[in-house]
């Protein structure tokens, strides 16, 4: 009977362990879904560290990323009570538990950090945090270590064990995949913006009067949109609209574009076609249909005296109103062949004066807000 | 003692179940890593269905996607012995188990399909497959059902149970996330290509002699690259290079570009600057640095008589050699103000004649290959 009893206890124990393991694996699966359901790198990093904390039942979790140029590890994000203090700290590769893991690419459980010569007391000292135990694994993208994921202080009186280690390794693999997908997405987005920007610049260069105009209008528009109630996506459209707002000038002939003297009324009518022509080009780019109104109407005025359609007030789309303010300010504050650039302050007064007639009042307010905060 | 015995058996049983469950959850975690480590939608679909088959220990797994316009479900991919036959079949929404799941968005286990009125015998009949049991769950992206994931015939004599269902639901959630990320990536890529293409078209339109030139050169270059040993990524660079190869013409003034008479030697020297000017524009687009040589050298000749640098043979990058052949063929087969378009066959003979002197022999061979297969 004695043998039997031992068996029972062993079975009970194993059953409990397996049940516990299944629960934690289900949690891992759920956390990895959360991790992968965004392509925003900052959000992925936050979720990664939150997931490590939950999955490890730890007091604090953190993600450190390798900065290759500086050969250092930076606390990207850190949660938990003392997380904020961690953000200021970075480690050399090889320094501390995290530095060791990043350098050798091996996972590590340290349940008595004070006895481990790799443990770096500096972090605890600076954060007034007492590390009782620590579990740390490498985050690897295509054989390259891009960082480490760690959890500190198992809640209760427990220690980190092999089971924890195997779960955290799985989580780190998911984190690596999510970060890599987001990197690919960011790179493609960067390629899109840079290409649109460079082609717009090249097109703009045909007009000798407007060096750098597109870039400045883009900067001003982005500053304005920070002070308007726009979504993240709408802000992206603002950026793209301002990059491409003058694209229609490609259709205006040299003899008008490059004319040093003031234009004749007839020539001015031709120049005015550029906003509509720009919209026609954008119409061929289906994924950019959102910005067609912005490009087409960036010379409309709220009093209806603009072009091409003489739209009034609320009929003018917000994207167009934003570009109009940025565009007007840039025209006033840069030299033209027939007049000097206006002083910034006088230009601001001019914007205020035109607010509600030529320009939208709310957008002018947002512009002034950005200007006062030194963003323009 | 009797009570004790029952307890032991129950514990043994639960322990076994928990152990089994933990194993399958670990497999789910592994499969979801595999699923998320690509952004290629076709590959995700293949992996999804493979994962369903393995996780469910089934004979066959398949993924059906909703075609919204046609209100039908299509077998996107199917593995297992009889998988190939399934690819030809589609279902109406509401038709069969899969159609029911897609319509109502509820998961379903059917262990006696012959007794279930929702079961659609048509598929079995057409595939000569005997469905013993089936498990099917919706694939949902942001509350919208985009398809269903199913597994058919549990291996051995087993049936699908609640445990299977909960695992398959988790897998389907991962599939949805992976497909959604890949969709976002594809959309962005499409936005990039369409924008580059439209701006290149707009720039090209200044030159009245070359309507549609860029689009044709892009089509020809892509056809050529199918017959050369290039990687998937290199083929992408070929596409981008050909879209942007003449971008430098933006820097050439109207009076030369629009001149109807043949150009003077001096004017021709100015026109020749466009390839170098194009490269200079691309230099500002860091993510496109791979295509700089292709744009810069698309007028080089293997005998060293081309421009801008007079590079010879192997010194000319492959991207430039491909665009050169496509460019030359298009120049010959379109009307110019001073001559009519050449017949296709005569142009091909001309390419052959220039092979090894002006044009690269291997690239010309690839072009002819594509031409013979009706792709040019």
Q: What's the pLDDT tens digit per position in A173-201? A: 999 999 999 999 999 999 999 999 999 99
Q: Cα distance from B43 to chain A (closest Cα, Å)?
A: 15
- Confidence (pLDDT) at A151: 94
Of A18, A191, A196, the CB nearest to B15: A18
- Confidence (pLDDT) at B1: 46
Q: Which residues of B119-149 are buried (b: 16+ CB within 10 A; e: fewer)?
A: bbeebbeebebebebbbbbbbbbeeebbbbb
Global pTM? Answer: 0.88
Q: What is the largest CA-CA distance in chain A?
A: 110
State the Cα–Cα distance between residues B337 and B332, nearest whole angstrom.
13
- Pull the structure tokens for residue B312: 């010879």
B37 and A251 within 8 Å at the Cβ level: the answer is: no
Chain A interface, mutation test: which of B1, B14, B15, most A Cβ atoms within 10 Å? B15
B12 and A12 within 8 Å at the Cβ level: the answer is: no
A286 and B194 within 8 Å at the Cβ level: the answer is: yes
Strands (E), chain B: 58-67, 72-78, 90-92, 108-110, 134-141, 144-154
- Confidence (pLDDT) at A88: 66
B39 and A281 within 8 Å at the Cβ level: the answer is: no
Closest residue in chain B to residue A141, using alpha carbons only: B37
B188 and A190 within 8 Å at the Cβ level: the answer is: no
| B124: contact with A, CB 8 A cutoff | no
| B37: contact with A, CB 8 A cutoff | yes
B12 and A11 within 8 Å at the Cβ level: the answer is: yes
Average pLDDT by stretches of 10, chain B with 376 residues: 63 79 92 94 93 94 90 73 64 89 94 84 75 95 93 92 95 96 95 92 83 93 97 95 95 88 91 95 93 97 97 96 97 87 95 96 97 94
| A26: contact with B, CB 8 A cutoff | yes
**3-state SS class at A301:** coil
- Confidence (pLDDT) at B142: 87
Residue A49's alpha-carbon distances to A24, A62, A75, A150, A223, in angstroms, are 16, 5, 11, 8, 32
Of A191, A196, A198, the CB nearest to B281: A198
- Confidence (pLDDT) at A209: 76
Portion of chain A with pLDDT greater than 70, in percent: 95
Show residues of chain B in contact with A247, CB under 8 Å. Answer: 199, 202
**3-state SS class at B74:** strand
Of A19, A281, A288, the CB nearest to B202: A281
ipTM for this prediction: 0.87
Give the residues of chain A that fall short of pLDDT 50. Answer: 1
How many of the other CB atoms lie within 10 Å of CB of A171? 27
A36 and B36 within 8 Å at the Cβ level: the answer is: yes
- Pull the structure tokens for residue A293: 């109104």
| A215: contact with B, CB 8 A cutoff | no
Which DSSP state fits A91? E
Q: Cα distance from B278 to chain A (closest Cα, Å)?
A: 10
**3-state SS class at A211:** coil
Show residues of chain B in contact with A249, CB under 8 Å. Answer: none
State the Cα–Cα distance between residues A258 and B204, nearest whole angstrom.
19
Window 224-263 of A, Cβ < 8 Å to B: 247, 250-251, 253-255
C-alpha of B23 from chain center = 34
A287 and B190 within 8 Å at the Cβ level: the answer is: yes
Chain B interface, mutation test: which of A171, A191, A248, most B Cβ atoms within 10 Å? A191
- Confidence (pLDDT) at A114: 84
B29 and A25 within 8 Å at the Cβ level: the answer is: yes
B192 and A187 within 8 Å at the Cβ level: the answer is: no
Element (H, E) at A138: strand A134-141
Closest residue in chain B to residue A28, using alpha carbons only: B29
Domains of chain B: 2-183 (3.30.450.40), 205-372 (1.10.3210.10)
């Amino acid at each position: 009977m004695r043998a039997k009893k031992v068996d029972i206890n062993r079975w009970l124990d194993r059953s409990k362990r397996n049940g516990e393991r299944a629960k934690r694996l289900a949690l891992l699966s759920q956390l990895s879904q959360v991790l992968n359901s965004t392509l925003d790198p900052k959000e992925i990093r936050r979720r990664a560290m939150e997931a490590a904390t939950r999955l490890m039942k730890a007091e604090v979790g953190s993600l450190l990323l390798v900065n290759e140029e500086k050969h250092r590890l930076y606390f990207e994000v850190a949660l938990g009570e003392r997380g904020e203090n961690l953000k200021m700290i970075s480690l050399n590769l090889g320094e501390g538990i995290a530095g060791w893991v990043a350098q050798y690419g091996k996972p590590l459980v340290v349940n008595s950090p004070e006895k481990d010569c790799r443990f770096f007391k500096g972090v605890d000292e600076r954060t007034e945090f007492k590390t009782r135990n620590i579990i740390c694994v490498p985050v690897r993208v295509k054989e390259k270590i891009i960082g480490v994921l760690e959890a500190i202080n198992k809640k209760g009186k427990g220690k980190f064990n092999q089971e924890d280690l195997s779960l955290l390794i799985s989580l780190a693999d998911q984190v690596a995949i999510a970060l890599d997908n987001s990197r690919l997405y960011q790179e493609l987005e960067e390629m899109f913006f840079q290409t649109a920007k460079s082609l717009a610049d090249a097109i703009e260069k045909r007009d000798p009067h407007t060096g750098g105009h597109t870039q400045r209008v883009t900067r001003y528009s982005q500053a304005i949109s920070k002070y308007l109630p726009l979504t993240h996506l709408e802000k992206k459209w603002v950026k793209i609209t301002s990059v491409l707002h003058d694209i229609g000038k490609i259709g205006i002939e040299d003899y008008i574009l490059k004319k040093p003297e003031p234009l004749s009324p007839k020539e001015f009518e031709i120049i005015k076609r550029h906003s509509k022509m720009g919209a026609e080009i954008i119409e061929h780019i289906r994924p950019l249909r959102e910005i067609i109104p912005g490009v087409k109407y960036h010379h409309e005025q709220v009093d209806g005296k603009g072009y091409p359609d003489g739209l009034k007030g609320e009929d003018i789309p917000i994207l167009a109103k934003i570009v109009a303010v940025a565009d007007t300010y840039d025209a006033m504050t840069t030299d033209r062949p027939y007049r000097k650039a206006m002083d910034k302050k006088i230009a601001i007064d001019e914007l205020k004066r035109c607010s509600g007639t030529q320009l939208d009042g709310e957008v002018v307010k947002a512009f002034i807000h950005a200007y006062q905060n030194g963003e323009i």
